[in-house]
């Protein structure tokens, strides 16, 4: 029997608190298990953000301020 996962009547396994089963379609879910793919995506996203921040900070170098005194270029 199939059902919509959004409306599955999930029940918790009495022997395993992280294991849930749908009463209608017998789908199984495990909560609190680490997913290696999602962890890898999070690490890559953080690394990209840090690389962009460091790259943008390096491009914003301050240019030397010219002094208003131009006496060296004026000839009398």
Q: Residue 72: its pLDDT value, please? A: 57
The pLDDT tens digits along the chain (76 residues) read: 567 777 889 999 999 988 999 998 888 888 877 777 888 999 999 999 999 988 877 666 555 566 565 555 555 5
pTM: 0.42
Q: Helix (H, G, I), strand (E, B), or coil: what is residue 10?
A: strand
Give the Cα-Cα-Cα angle 47, 51, 35 (nearest 5 degrees): 10
Could you give the dihedral angle defined by the CA atoms of residues 33, 37, 40 and 46, in that order, rounded to the nearest 10 degrees? Answer: -90
Using alpha carbons, list the distances in angstroms from residue 48 to 43, 51, 56, 57, 66.
9, 5, 12, 14, 36
Measured distance CA(1)–CA(17) in Å, rounded: 25
Q: Residue 54: its pLDDT value, please? A: 87
């Amino acid at each position: 029997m199939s059902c919509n996962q959004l409306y599955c009547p999930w029940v918790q396994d009495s022997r395993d608190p992280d294991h849930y089963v749908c009463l209608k379609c017998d789908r199984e879910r495990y909560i609190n298990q680490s997913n290696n793919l999602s962890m890898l995506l999070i690490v890559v996203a953080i690394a990209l953000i840090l690389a962009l921040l460091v790259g943008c900070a390096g491009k914003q170098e301050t240019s030397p301020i010219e002094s208003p005194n131009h006496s060296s270029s004026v000839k009398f």
